[in-house]
Amino acid sequence: MIRYRIHDDEFDLIRAEARLSARWDGGSNIRDRESKISLLDVDNVVGQVGEWALSLALTGSADAWLRTRAKRAKTPWEGDGGEDLEGLRWDVKASLMRYAQDPYRYRLFVRSRELRDGWRYSLALVSIDWRSVWLPGYATSEEVREAPRAWNGSQAGPHEIEVARLHPMPSEIALG
């Protein structure tokens, strides 16, 4: 499991990017509009921390994240299609660790409509004090598709995979 410490200057940059993207209102998969507006800053910061950490893990620096943010700024009305770092076919699912500070108590959740063949889905867990982010691992699209679905009452929800069942994160994949 990878853990990154978030320093003040890094957090300031991440928060600035999150506030910029919040203005564009890209929608939310888990909240209605009213709930989203009330938590917009938190949700966007958590998402940007996850993308920043993914960039560090896969490329060794925040450069891929910065390039992706700059490209998205040119077309803010377009969604990213789930591709959090341009050209890498990874989708990071980031969550604030509100209920427990133990990464092993969380799960990777991916909705069926978010699945794309040949992609990888990673989990990013942001500590409640905003100073750490864990990347416990990832699953392939095929593994997610085969994973059981969480149940919400009588309806099947997203696919879920326990942290202990995720692949360890690779490090510094060369950008192609």
pLDDT (tens digit, 9 = 90+) per residue, 160-172? 999 999 999 986 5
Which value, in Å, is the radius of gyration of the alpha carbons in the chain? Answer: 15
**In the 3-class helix/strand/coil scheme, how is 55-78 assigned residue by residue?**
HHHHHCCCHHHHHHHHHHHHCCCC
pTM greater than 0.75 (yes/no) = yes
Task: Tell me the C-alpha distance between 163 and 121, whole Å.
Answer: 12
Q: Given CA atoms 77, 40, 44, 21 in this order, what sign does their dihedral have?
A: positive
Tell me what pLDDT residue 79 has: 62
pLDDT (tens digit, 9 = 90+) per residue, 73-82? 776 666 666 6
Alpha helices in the chain (DSSP H): 8-22, 33-38, 40-59, 63-74, 141-146
